[in-house]
A and B are shown apart, each in its own frame.
Chain A
Amino acid sequence: MAATYTQPVQTLIDELGRLPGVGPKSAQRIAFHLLKAPRDDVARLAHSITDAKTRVRFCVRCFNFAEAELCPICLDDRRSGQVLCVVEESRDIVALEKTGEFHGRYHVLLGAMSPLEGIGPEQLKMKELFIRLEPEGVEEVILCTNPNTEGEVTALYIARMLKPFDVKVTRIASGLPVGGDLEYADELTLGRALEGRRELT
């Protein structure tokens, strides 16, 4: 795109445009909004970005966001170390925590296998997962990667790598959203839900 704005504005638009989910049009809108906003508001935003970036790091054990060596979940000794839930991103932990159903610990891979993006097992926190199993006395690993091509392949890979370990490996079920209508479910989801049906007793 030809630079039609003065250089600082164009740089701002370009930088915003590199954020996930922000296209050129949105980048432009956000940039204009920031330029019109009071100086204090913008300074607060800039500060919160640098502050978060300096204070937040990855938990050395599970790679969730943490302010210290360990994240709050790993520090919480009421949580069971016997069950380990493997997710792609920290935000997946937030989603799972909202269920209130899981009382074990997590392990964040920081992505999923995708050769197109140059991500293989070495780029993910896989070895870090395997070395956790014995010392933490893990008995079950729940694979909670996304139910898409890359997530499925990542789960399959981990399952294979865990074969020599003495742990139970499970995969979360995929199926219908609760409170939804069968009629509106796409055929793939519905097919999976049928596959994973359970006997009612």
Chain B
Amino acid sequence: MLVRSLELVDFRNYITAQLDFVPGTTAIVGDNGQGKTNLAESLGYLATLESFRGAPIDALIRNGADTAIIRAEIIHDDGRELLIEAEINRSGRNRVLVNRQRLSRSRELLGVLRVSVFSPDDLALVKEGPAERRRLMDDTLVSLAVKHDSLRLEIDRVLKQRNSLLKQCGGRVSDDVSLTLDVWDEKLAQHGEQLGHARATLVARLTPMVLEAYEQLAGRATPVELVYEPPWRRTGLLHALSAARADDIRRQSSTVGPHRDDVEISLNGLPARTHASQGEQRSLALALRLGAHRLVADKVGTPPILILDDVLSELDSARAAALLANLPIGQVLITTASPLPSDARADRVLRVSNGTVLV
């Protein structure tokens, strides 16, 4: 999969921009605050319909404009050429077109373009709470098979409804409401079990990939473990939900389910979150991303577009060199404020200054 060109209109700080990419490595160089990450973010949006910075969609539209447009030409390995256009509107619905044909549901775009994004925020994967790690699992699952996106949305929907019902109960539940909760539980269990199974399978496949990536980055074999064992998977979600019923009613929220899961990461047998050094945590975060990237490349048969957003400057030169040496062959986009390390052989260098791309 290749991105041939990218065009922006009123996206973030760009009034207009037009970029051409090469099949190998394209470096985007410029000072901080000039709009390098915005370019990466726009490609990320076409892949996931979200900002990888977790920004609200509104923030993607240039100040003073009502509509942002992202347009990209994608070439698939089989030679198929696709023109993808996303229109982000401040008011009204966002639209997505593929080869000038409007998609009836924007989410049909998922899977047309795949990206793996590495950013300095990735440290949160190791240091912060479980939400980041759930997102890594689920985003990887969506990259592997688009059906996981519907599953995730369906679970969100059921949870919203269930929580709303629990709030309306105000801590007290009549027999009638209890029957209603039963059916919401059944729906949650049905979809939650599917996601739990998918996550467990994913983590099992991901572990050797992360182990290998960590070894390459750290330069020596180190035991890395990923453990995904939510207690509800032992008893079954339906059972766990009924066991937690009283608690859920009292706290007026869903205390058990896939939305509370975590993947515990350990290094040398100790929890990485609390015991690993800063440097080890950084390598682990990179290894997680790299592992997921390779897994998707393996299973899908073509590597996602790799976006290294400002990560090289965060790494010491040995790790940066190790990362660059171990990147799978595919299209790479590197943004950096500092000069490129000598190991990064960029096939094209684009300079960004104040919302303008200079070739």
A contact residues vs B (CB 8 Å cutoff): 23, 25, 113-116, 118, 120-122, 149-150, 152-153, 156-157, 160-161, 186-188, 191
Known contacts A153-B183, A153-B184, A157-B180; is A115 also within 8 Å of B161 by CB? yes
Minimal Cβ-Cβ distance residue in B for A190: B147
Contact A113 B180 (CB under 8 A): yes
B contact residues vs A (CB 8 Å cutoff): 92, 105, 108, 145-147, 150, 154, 157-158, 160-162, 164-165, 168, 176-177, 179-180, 182-184, 186-187
Closest CB-CB distance, A91 to chain B, in whole Å? 20
**Chain A residues closer than 8 Å to B183, beta-carbon distance:** 113, 153, 156-157, 160
CA distance A188 to B154 in the complex (A): 11
Minimal Cβ-Cβ distance residue in B for A187: B147
Contact A150 B161 (CB under 8 A): yes
**Chain B residues closer than 8 Å to A122, beta-carbon distance:** 176
Contact B180 A156 (CB under 8 A): no
CA distance A121 to B145 in the complex (A): 36
Contact B179 A160 (CB under 8 A): yes
**Chain A residues closer than 8 Å to B177, beta-carbon distance:** 120
Residue among B146, B150, B158, B183 facing the most chain A CB atoms (10 A cut-off)? B183
Known contacts A116-B160, A150-B161, A188-B150; is A157 also within 8 Å of B187 by CB? no
Contact A115 B165 (CB under 8 A): yes
Known contacts A115-B168, A122-B176, A157-B179; is A187 also within 8 Å of B160 by CB? no
Contact B187 A156 (CB under 8 A): yes
Select one of A25, A149, A186, A191 contacting B161, CB under 8 A: A149
Minimal Cβ-Cβ distance residue in B for A191: B147
Interface of A is mostly: helix
Closest CB-CB distance, A50 to chain B, in whole Å? 32
* 25 examples of A-B residue contacts, CB within 8 angstroms: A23-B92, A25-B92, A113-B183, A114-B161, A115-B162, A115-B165, A116-B164, A120-B165, A121-B176, A121-B180, A122-B176, A149-B154, A149-B158, A149-B187, A150-B161, A153-B161, A153-B184, A156-B186, A157-B183, A160-B179, A160-B183, A186-B105, A186-B150, A187-B145, A187-B150
CA distance A113 to B158 in the complex (A): 11
CA distance A122 to B186 in the complex (A): 20
CA distance A36 to B176 in the complex (A): 53
Contact B161 A120 (CB under 8 A): no
CA distance A157 to B182 in the complex (A): 8
**Chain B residues closer than 8 Å to A152, beta-carbon distance:** 187
**Chain A residues closer than 8 Å to B184, beta-carbon distance:** 115, 153
Closest CB-CB distance, B242 to chain A, in whole Å? 15
CA distance A25 to B90 in the complex (A): 14
**Chain A residues closer than 8 Å to B158, beta-carbon distance:** 149, 153
Contact B150 A120 (CB under 8 A): no
Select one of B157, B168, B186 contacting A149, CB under 8 A: B157
